[in-house]
Structure 1
């Protein structure tokens, strides 16, 4: 089985109150020097079969319609290999030609 990772983050222009709360708490907890914190979501999808262009297109559609609110959030899709290394993929690319995990 292959793993595909979808990270969802608020768009830069959207206020992130959770990130701000963490940022304000850090100095009180002894963590100095952090100038900004943004909070997001990570989804790890175990995919049966090869992660080819068709599979990535479906995952991109899933992320766009269900995992992320694209009005206020951006998302990235990455394929994770057996060693845990991740590589980003673009919507509509043929992952098989890029050494996809099978």
Structure 2
């Protein structure tokens, strides 16, 4: 499965992680699903735990919920999120995910 996300931001993401560690970070977390593409490279570049997306929690959460329970994944774009749950490879586990996005919803930004 192809992972979405701009491969060109990989070096910048690694450089930012290294700067954070130099500033004293003992762990790095982000919540930008496109960073999942760079999870392994960023984690290998620093000597602290790295979690580039909350989607990385899905396998652990799926093991903890009752067999009939489902877990919701809410994102800006559901289509991209369906592709990003690639770390959940078991079809039975994937069936327990309910994925939805806000695409098509009218919203207003304020400055």
For the aligned pair, the TM-score class normalised by the smaller chain equals under 0.3
Normalised by the size of structure 1, how large is the TM-score?
Answer: 0.26
The answer to which structure has the higher helix fraction is 2
The answer to which structure has the higher strand fraction is 1
Normalised by the size of structure 2, how large is the TM-score?
Answer: 0.25
